[in-house]
């Protein structure tokens, strides 16, 4: 089965060679690579044209964001499978073959999550599929944990990190692509939620290994840019996707998350960025409300079934957090109480 590989890029010239060389070393070669450049000023486009002329380049004069970039690559291709890949990654030589095998033997699944490992320490996980927190955010299962037999078992997960995930093209045709109003951050969480609400399923493929640097474009996991967009997009996701009944049913869990997120941004001295995110949320609120009606109408799960999916996904996230904290010798009293009260 042919694959379109879509790599968004913004000033990532330093990463492109190792990423593209790892694609050249794949055990399968039936794929086309699309690099969507978001107005880079570091010579990325010239570098690609000179060294990788077979790569299809979509070059923009400005940064339109992650969502717009991957959507452009998706729309420009035509293969039945689409693999989204961050530029700051390298693939194990059998990665694509393992994903293709999973897509072939699991026709009932609509998208597939790779095992993402720390680029600098391959014994540490970056993410083994995505879970979901009912506060309206995702959680990369296993992040910062030591790799183990638990993460070597293929299984169904809530969703996939768009930094390394395989999708059937028909999934995009049915539920739409990534929300470009998100620009970046939580766009794949929003997509995962919409997919689950329509009864779509994701399969985790542990033998498909990807080595990921992480935060290479923004330079840091926590800064004004990430906090502002994460705050805004978290609230947009809730407005766009939560039925009223589920919003009030999960309001305690939502409030707990919002409280601790605010405490976190205070600790990181990012209150201004947080407030900026709130203001920007109010600016885009009419757009989120306009999308809400269509999202809810297209949902194929009733509210109880969707609630069960959300609870299960959050339980996996909490258990992963507790494993990570236990590994570091930290206590889990709060998370144990949270599980008893809310899960």
State the CATH number of the domain containing residue 163: 3.90.550.60
Counting every residue, how long is the chain? 343
Whether residues 53 and 24 share a domain: the answer is yes
- Give 214's pLDDT tier (boundaries 50, 70, 90): confident
The long-range contacts involving 14-18, CB below 8 angstroms and separated by at least 24 positions, are 14/42, 15/87, 15/88, 15/89, 15/213, 15/216, 16/44, 16/47, 16/48, 16/52, 16/87, 17/51, 18/90
Is the residue at 129 inside a domain? Answer: yes
Question: Mind listing the pLDDT tens digit for each residue in 221-255?
Answer: 789 999 999 999 999 999 999 999 999 999 999 99
Whether residues 303 and 256 share a domain: the answer is yes
- Distance, in Å, from the CA atom of 275 to the CA atom of 134, rounded to the nearest integer, reads 22
Helical ranges in 118-186 per DSSP H: 169-175
Is the residue at 103 inside a domain? Answer: yes
Is the residue at 48 inside a domain? Answer: yes
Question: Mind listing the pLDDT tens digit for each residue in 155-200?
Answer: 999 999 999 999 999 999 999 999 999 999 999 999 999 999 999 9
Whether residues 197 and 319 share a domain: the answer is no
Final residue before a domain boundary, out of 212, 235, 259 = 212
* Whole-number pLDDT of residue 221: 73
Whether residues 140 and 229 share a domain: the answer is no
Final residue before a domain boundary, out of 212, 234, 257 = 212
CB 217 within 8 A of CB 11: yes
Is the residue at 34 inside a domain? Answer: yes
Average of per-residue pLDDT across 307-321: 96
Average of per-residue pLDDT across 86-101: 98
Whether residues 76 and 191 share a domain: the answer is yes
* Whole-number pLDDT of residue 80: 97
- DSSP for 26-58 reads -S---EEEEEEEES-SSSHHHHHHHH-TTSEEE
Is the residue at 104 inside a domain? Answer: yes
Whether residues 31 and 127 share a domain: the answer is yes
Whether residues 19 and 123 share a domain: the answer is yes
Whether residues 168 and 135 share a domain: the answer is yes
Average pLDDT of the chain to the nearest whole number: 95
Q: Are strands 81-85 and 164-168 parallel, antiparallel or unpaired?
A: antiparallel
Is 218 a residue whose pLDDT tops 90? Answer: no
Whether residues 241 and 315 share a domain: the answer is yes
* Whole-number pLDDT of residue 191: 98
Tokens read off for 103? 């897509």
- Give 219's pLDDT tier (boundaries 50, 70, 90): very low
Final residue before a domain boundary, out of 182, 212, 242 = 212
Whether residues 146 and 252 share a domain: the answer is no
Is 216 a residue whose pLDDT tops 90? Answer: no
Is 328 a residue whose pLDDT tops 60? Answer: yes
Is the residue at 219 inside a domain? Answer: no
Is the residue at 286 inside a domain? Answer: yes
Average of per-residue pLDDT across 277-282: 97
Whether residues 203 and 282 share a domain: the answer is no
Average of per-residue pLDDT across 104-123: 97
* Whole-number pLDDT of residue 1: 62
Instruction: Supply the pTM of this predicted model.
Output: 0.95
Whether residues 135 and 233 share a domain: the answer is no
Burial of 223 (0-12, 13-18, 19+ CB in 10 A): middle
- Give 220's pLDDT tier (boundaries 50, 70, 90): low
Is the residue at 334 inside a domain? Answer: yes
Average of per-residue pLDDT across 196-217: 90
Cα separations (Å) of 320 from 121, 142, 152, 265? 19, 6, 15, 22
Q: How many domains does the chain have?
A: 2
Question: Mind listing the pLDDT tens digit for each residue in 255-272?
Answer: 999 999 999 999 999 999
- Domain of 269, in residue numbers: 224-342
């Amino acid at each position: 089965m042919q694959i379109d590989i879509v790599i968004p890029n913004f000033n990532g010239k330093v990463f492109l060679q190792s990423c593209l060389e790892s694609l050249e070393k794949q055990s399968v070669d039936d794929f086309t690579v699309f690099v969507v450049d978001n107005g880079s000023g570091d010579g990325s486009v010239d570098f690609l044209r000179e060294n990788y002329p077979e790569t299809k380049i979509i070059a923009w004069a400005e940064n339109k964001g992650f969502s717009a970039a991957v959507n452009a690559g998706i729309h420009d291709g035509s293969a039945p499978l689409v693999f989204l890949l961050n530029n700051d990654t390298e693939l194990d030589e059998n990665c694509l073959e393992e994903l293709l095998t999973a897509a072939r033997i699991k026709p009932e699944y609509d998208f597939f999550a790779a095992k993402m490992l720390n680029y600098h320490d391959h014994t540490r996980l970056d993410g083994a599929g995505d879970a979901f927190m009912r506060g309206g955010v995702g959680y990369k299962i296993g992040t910062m944990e030591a790799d183990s037999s638990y993460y070597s078992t293929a299984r169904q997960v809530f969703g996939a990190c768009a930094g390394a995930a395989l999708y059937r093209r028909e999934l995009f045709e049915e539920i739409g692509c990534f929300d470009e109003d998100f620009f970046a951050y939580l766009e794949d969480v929003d997509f995962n939620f919409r997919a689950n609400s329509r009864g779509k399923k994701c399969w985790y493929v542990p033998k498909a290994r990807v080595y990921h640097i992480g935060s290479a474009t923004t330079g840091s996991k926590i800064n004004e840019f990430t906090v502002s967009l994460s705050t805004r997009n978290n609230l947009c996701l809730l407005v766009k996707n939560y039925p009223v009944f589920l919003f009030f049913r999960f309001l305690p869990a939502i409030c707990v998350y919002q409280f601790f997120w605010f405490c976190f941004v205070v600790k990181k001295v990012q209150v201004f960025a947080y407030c900026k995110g709130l203001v920007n949320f109010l600016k885009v609120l009419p757009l989120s409300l306009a999308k809400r009606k269509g999202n809810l109408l297209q949902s194929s799960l009733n509210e109880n079934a969707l609630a069960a999916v959300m609870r299960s996904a959050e339980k996996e996230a909490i258990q992963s957090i507790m494993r990570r904290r236990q590994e570091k010798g930290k206590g889990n009293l709060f998370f144990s109480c949270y599980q008893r009260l809310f899960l």
